[in-house]
Amino acid sequence: MPKKNKSIAEILLSIRAVSINVEAPYHYRSGIISPIYCDNRLIISYPTERRQIVAGMVALIGELDLKPDVIAGTATAAIPFAAWVADRIALPMIYVRSGQKGYGKERQIEGDMARGARVVFTEDLITTGGGVLGAVEDVRRSGGEVVGIVSVFEYGLPAADEAFREHNVPRWSLCDFVAILDVMNARGELSKEHREAALKWKADPKNWGREMGFE
């Protein structure tokens, strides 16, 4: 496991933003039963850890040589990350609503973005990518060139791989599901058997609960 992935995984576990429980899994609003629960909104409450995560996102943007003109976030969870990253590298920021406002200027994209601007989205979490990919298309329709998405954490689901290919946008993450499992296993907090059971969810999240006997 890359050192960067391990350090971010340790941060997320230390602030309880990510938790794993194979024996008493979590029930998502979508109906999916999962061994993992992720709430990266907790990051905003931990300034030391927050700075480390933002530094990681900034470093990744530099390592990838993305050369953004604008940093973007989706409303609402990704807005703080976009603001912190944009501030750190002294770039303009925009954020994208899930729909147009029904009042005022009825904007969907808040902030100024020149046509042809190179845009990097920052995300706290990528599941299937539906939310951010809708925002990507909104920015493209407004004349922006989306050069990539940088997230704090992602599950690495096959559905996300397919969706990002369809929308022709690359993504990178500081940490993923496998890194969390590996850190917990190395600490003795997750058995090899439970690690393997959790990985089965990653391969088939819709049917995992039934196959594990939770439905």
pLDDT at 215: 86
Closest by Cα among 85, 95, 94, 91 to 59:
85
In a domain, 207, yes or no: no
pLDDT at 133: 97
Inter-CA distances, 28 with 36, 57, 163, 180, Å: 10, 28, 20, 19
**Which residue segment(s) compose the domain that 126 sits in?**
3-202
In a domain, 119, yes or no: yes
pLDDT at 99: 65
In a domain, 71, yes or no: yes
Closest by Cα among 42, 47, 127, 35 to 84:
47
Q: Is the CB of residue 1 less than 8 Å from the CB of residue 182?
A: yes
Closest by Cα among 61, 70, 67 to 112:
70
Task: Output the pTM of the full model.
Answer: 0.93
In a domain, 11, yes or no: yes
CATH code for the domain in which residue 120 is found: 3.40.50.2020
In a domain, 209, yes or no: no
Per-residue pLDDT of the chain (215 residues; tens, 9 = 90+): 667 799 999 999 999 999 999 999 999 988 899 999 999 999 999 999 999 999 999 999 999 999 999 999 999 999 999 999 999 999 999 999 986 654 455 689 999 999 999 999 999 999 999 999 999 999 999 999 999 999 999 999 999 999 999 999 999 999 999 999 999 999 999 999 999 999 999 999 999 999 999 98
In a domain, 56, yes or no: yes
Q: Count structural domains, the chain.
A: 1
In a domain, 141, yes or no: yes
pLDDT at 102: 47
In a domain, 215, yes or no: no
Strands (E), 116-200: 118-126, 145-154, 171-176
